[in-house]
């Protein structure tokens, strides 16, 4: 597995969605590739920080409205 | 302001290795106290980076990583395939990671 292929699989790796074969290949690559270990660590941290910086407690009703707003935004721009 | 997402995605050489000098590809700022404390500066960088994502990437990132909806739920809500949700999410995270690394990683 190359770095390019390993980085393409990061999200699925974090979601534990890789097939056993892909997981074995991914982990074997990480063992020998320091840049990809750094990439994985910083990618994972980015995800945590993004959640932390944006997380606010809000009532369910407001949350539903936020979701609707985001969906509307996606529909208008994609 | 939205910036081109492409500029913030990793680039690869023909052999599949990531491009960039060694210090940069090895940059791991996760133990950097600024990242842990989510200090004012880091918070500002991240907020700016999220705001600069194209809207349909930003929205997927928030629904997934902040609101913790599943890929399947988001796909259904916005009427695209699960593969498309996953792809947008991954690209959005990589773009944010790049912005944070430029600020918190080694100066190059």
Closest residue by Cα to residue B89 from B59, B46, B49? B59
Per-range mean pLDDT, top range of A21-30, B9-18, B38-47: A21-30
**Model pLDDT for residues A34-48, shown as the tens digit of each residue:** 999 999 999 999 999
Band the pLDDT of A70: cuts 50, 70, 90. confident
pLDDT computed for residue A72 by the predictor: 84
What's the pLDDT score for residue B72? 95
Domain membership of residue A56 as a residue range:
3-77
Confidence at residue B71, expressed as pLDDT on a 0 to 100 scale: 95
pLDDT tens-place string over residues A7-57: 999 999 999 999 999 999 999 999 999 999 999 999 999 999 998 887 767
- Cα–Cα distance between B99 and A47 in angstroms, integer? 13
Interface contact B17-A42, CB threshold 8 A: no
Between B36 and A12, the more confident residue is A12
Tally of domains within chain B = 1
Q: What is the pTM of this model?
A: 0.87
The CATH number given to whatever domain includes residue B62 is: 1.10.10.10
Q: How many independent structural domains does chain A possess?
A: 1
Q: Is the dihedral of CA B51, B57, B58, B64 positive or negative?
A: negative
Check the CA dihedral B100-B106-B107-B108 and report its sign: negative
* Closest partner CB to A51 (pick from B30, B55, B66): B66
Confidence of residue B104 (pLDDT cuts 50, 70, 90): confident
Closest chain B residue by Cα to residue A4: B16
B65-91 in b/e form (b: 16+ CB < 10 A) is bbbebebebbbebbebeeebbbbbbbb
Mutate to test the interface with B, among A17, A40, A42, A77 (most CBs of B within 10 A): A42
User: Chain B: residue nearest A66 by CA?
Assistant: B63
Helix B82-104, helix B40-51: angle, nearest 10: 140
SS3 A33: coil
Q: What is the ipTM of this complex?
A: 0.89
Where in the sequence is the domain holding B83, given as residue range(s)? Answer: 5-104
- Residue B108: the pLDDT is 47
Residue B56 predicted with pLDDT over 90: no
* pLDDT range class, residue B83, cuts 50, 70, 90: very high
């Amino acid at each position: 597995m190359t770095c390019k292929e390993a980085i393409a699989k990061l999200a699925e790796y974090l979601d534990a969605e890789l097939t056993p074969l892909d997981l074995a290949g991914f982990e074997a690559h990480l063992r020998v590739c320091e840049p990809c270990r750094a990439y994985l660590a910083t990618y994972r941290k980015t995800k945590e920080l993004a959640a932390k910086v944006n997380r606010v407690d809000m009532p369910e009703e407001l949350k539903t409205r936020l979701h609707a707003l985001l969906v509307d935004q996606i529909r208008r721009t994609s | 302001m939205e910036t081109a997402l492409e500029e913030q995605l990793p680039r690869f050489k023909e052999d599949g290795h990531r491009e960039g000098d060694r210090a940069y590809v090895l940059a791991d700022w996760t133990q950097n106290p600024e990242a842990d404390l989510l200090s004012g500066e880091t918070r500002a960088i991240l907020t700016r980076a999220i705001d600069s994502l194209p809207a349909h990437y930003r929205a997927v990132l928030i629904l997934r990583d902040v609101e913790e909806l599943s890929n399947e739920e988001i796909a259904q809500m916005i009427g695209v395939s699960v593969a498309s949700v996953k792809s947008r999410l991954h690209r959005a995270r990589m773009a944010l990671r790049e912005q944070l690394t430029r600020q918190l990683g080694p100066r190059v």
